[in-house]
């Protein structure tokens, strides 16, 4: 029982850390023909980028796509988990802005 509750608490933290930041789950598809973003859930997305997954190129491209989607500066998007994996968690700092 404690494990299930711990999982719920962890999941809740992944959605919203505090008032000014939101964590976003992203499944990345690098080396795609075109850039695309699809909302899969409340805070989860699939993102296609043209860049290759080499030396952080695809990660930077995903941050740019997320910033454009949420209409916030790219500097407000930070990769916090999944640096070398397809499934990633980005942190969006919104500071009073509402997100889609």
What CATH number corresponds to the domain at position 40?
3.30.1200.10
Cβ(9)–Cβ(1) below 8 Å? no
98 in any annotated domain: no
pTM for this entry: 0.77
How confident is residue 53, by pLDDT bands cut at 50, 70 and 90? very high
Following CA atoms 39, 40, 41, 42 in sequence, which dihedral angle do they give, to the nearest 10 degrees? Answer: -10
In a domain, 99, yes or no: no
Is 94 in a helix, a strand, or coil? coil
| Average pLDDT rounded to a whole number, residues 38-46 | 94
pLDDT (mean) for 67-80: 95
Predicted pLDDT at 96: 57
Instruction: Give the residue among 98, 5, 94, 99 at the shortest CA–CA distance from 43.
Output: 99
82 touches 88 (CB < 8 A):
yes
Whether 64 is in a domain gets the answer yes
Would 37 be classed as within a structural domain? yes
Q: % helix / strand / coil in the chain, to the nearest 5?
A: 30, 35, 35
In a domain, 72, yes or no: yes
- Per the structure, the complete domain to which residue 22 belongs is given by 2-93
User: Is 45 contained in some domain?
Assistant: yes
The count of structural domains within the chain is 1
Rg (CA), the chain: 14
- Say if 100 falls within a structural domain: no
């Amino acid at each position: 029982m404690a494990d299930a509750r711990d999982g719920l608490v962890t999941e809740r933290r992944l959605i919203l850390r505090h008032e000014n930041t939101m964590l976003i789950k992203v499944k990345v598809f690098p080396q795609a023909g075109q850039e695309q973003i699809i909302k899969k859930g409340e805070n989860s997305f699939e993102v296609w980028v043209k860049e290759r997954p080499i030396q952080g190129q695809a990660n930077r491209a995903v941050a740019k796509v997320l910033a454009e989607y949420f209409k916030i500066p790219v500097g407000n998007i930070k990769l916090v988990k999944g640096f070398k994996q397809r499934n990633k968690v980005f942190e969006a700092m919104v500071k009073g802005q509402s997100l889609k």
